Amino acid sequence: MTDYLILRVTAKFLIPIILLMGLYVQFHGELGPGGGFQAGVIFSAGLILYALVFGLDRLSDAVPIVALKVLSSVGVLLFAGTGMISVIVGGEFLDYNLLAEDPVAGQHLGIFLVELGVGITVASTMLLIFTLFAAQNDHV
């Protein structure tokens, strides 16, 4: 893609905006439309655009496959760990009220942690799937 100057310049302009939008959706998802899944998809779409325009090798240098595997697991553990903390303190799985002294604060904390876990898992899994399929296609 080195010959496509307009595409490369446009991508350099759009990718940070896409990533920022993904972060916005992630951290304001409980207040409006959005949340972890949508944020993960938006964030990974920005990085997939980066790989399509600048090459899979540059994406793999920025985010190695090992990091994607670890992040996928960390996201699931964050989600499940939030639920298990509720069980440990005597409630039901994902009973957010028990996560803090004040039930409202517990709700906010629980939703934040679960949505963060979902966002990390979705973004890293989508990037992992894209990277593995694209790398497989390069070897053919």
- pLDDT tens for 103-130 read 999 998 998 999 999 999 999 999 999 9
Res. 139 pLDDT band, cuts 50 70 90: low
The three-state secondary structure class of 121 is helix
CB of 121 within 8 A of CB of 72?
yes
pLDDT, position 140: 40
* Mean pLDDT across 22-29: 89
Res. 18 pLDDT band, cuts 50 70 90: very high
What is the rounded distance in angstroms from the CA atom of residue 57 to the CA atom of residue 62? 9
- Could you give the angle at which helices 36-54 and 103-138 cross, rounded to 10 degrees? 30
Res. 137 pLDDT band, cuts 50 70 90: low
pLDDT, position 35: 85
Residue 59: pLDDT over 90:
yes
Q: What's the DSSP call for residue 32? A: S
Domain count within the chain: 1
67 C-beta neighbours (distance < 10 Å), count: 14
Parent domain of 97: 5-138
